Structure 1
Amino acid sequence: MAEITVNGQARRVDVEGDTPLLWVLRDTLGLTGTKYGCGVAQCGACTVLVDGVATRSCQTPLDAIAGRAVTTIEAIEADPVGARLVAAWVALDVPQCGYCQSGQLMAATALLKETPKPDEAAIAAAMTNLCRCGTYNAIAAGIRQASEAA
């Protein structure tokens, strides 16, 4: 039995310590907004925030987050930065299929929390998640819009 903090709530889960955080979120806690993509921490569909840092949950064992705060897409609008990003995503029609977008929003939130006014190089360096639809320009525009709205 382990206790983790997810979206501001302490939760008890009965899973092995080496279970990937992604499966704890999706299968144990029912938070299905975080997506499974590649399973090897390359695509970023599974990105969540762990103590504010963008983290690939498919390769993060439960034991690695003990005592740390996890934020998922389900709670991102409770954060002012996340709320601005979601508003920009909607205003600019950023997603096409939308599968990668929860991970994109989580990575963008981590970026703007660390660098409130990122330049193009900072956006390119931080946004390493893959998008099969190729919405990279729209994602960058959404980040710029949310940054300007601060």
Structure 2
Amino acid sequence: MPEPTDVPVALTVNGTTVRLVTDPARPLLSVLREQLGLTGTRFGCGLEQCGACVVLIDGTPSYSCTREIGTLAGRSVVTVEGLGRDGALHPLQQALLDEQAGQCGYCLSGITMAGVALLARTTRPSRDEIVAALDRHLCRCGVHNRVVRAVQRAGAVLEPPTARTGDGA
């Protein structure tokens, strides 16, 4: 039974409209893991310091550990589970496997989401751009170089964003 403070919230998660009745102050991470069963997004520090909980909100990497679900009505959230298509991994997920970039893997869902956002902006990021995009993610296993190579590898197989010209072409 809903608590007296619970409110309805509708948002899109991994392409599916989700309607919940919940405390609007509840963290998105809690809703994803406990109510929606999407456990790929990890709880790390709960303080926006490690990046393990990063998801995409309207395409932007965002911490889910502190983001209140009530602020997300009508927004789109993508988790690591929502990246693949038709049973295939996203190119960055595959590249992370190919480069053996995960040891314990705890940080990889957040790193993957930040890398996917970077590759959506530019499929050929420089090493410095990759390092800057992933800077807020902590990894105790020391696989940073492998992660950078994986982002470069994924970018090589992605189509570059289509440039639009003003001439209607």
- Give the one of 34, 40, 49 matched to 2:41: 34
Letter in 2 for 1:115: T
Q: Work out the CA distance in 2 between the residues paired with 1:54 and 1:116.
A: 17
Structure 1: runs of 5 or more not aligned: none
Matches within 5 A, 1:43-62: 43-62=50-69
* Superposed structure 1 runs of 4+ greater than 6 Å apart: none
Deviation, 1:85, is 0.4
Deviation, 1:118, is 0.7
Structure 2: runs of 5 or more not aligned: 1-7, 159-169
- Please provide the CA RMSD for this pair: 1.3
Number of matched residues? 148
Letter in 2 for 1:148: A
TM-score normalized by the length of structure 1: 0.94
Deviation, 1:3, is 1.2
3-state DSSP class of the match of 1:55? Answer: strand
Report which of the two structures shows the higher radius of gyration computed on alpha carbons: 2
Tell me if 1:73 matches 2:99. no
Q: Work out the CA distance in 2 between the residues paired with 1:117 and 1:18.
A: 39
Identify, as 1 or 2, the structure richer in helix: 1
Partner of residue 124, structure 2: 117
3-state DSSP class of the match of 1:105? Answer: helix
Letter in 2 for 1:84: P
Q: Percent identity?
A: 43
Q: Work out the CA distance in 1 between the residues paired with 2:147 and 2:111.
A: 8
Partner of residue 130, structure 1: 138
TM-score normalized by the length of structure 2: 0.84
- Listed one character per residue, the Cα deviations across residues 25-76 of structure 1 (whole Å, up to 9, x for unaligned) are 0111111110000000110100101111111100111122211100011111
Deviation, 1:7, is 0.6
Q: Work out the CA distance in 2 between the residues paired with 1:23 and 1:9.
A: 18
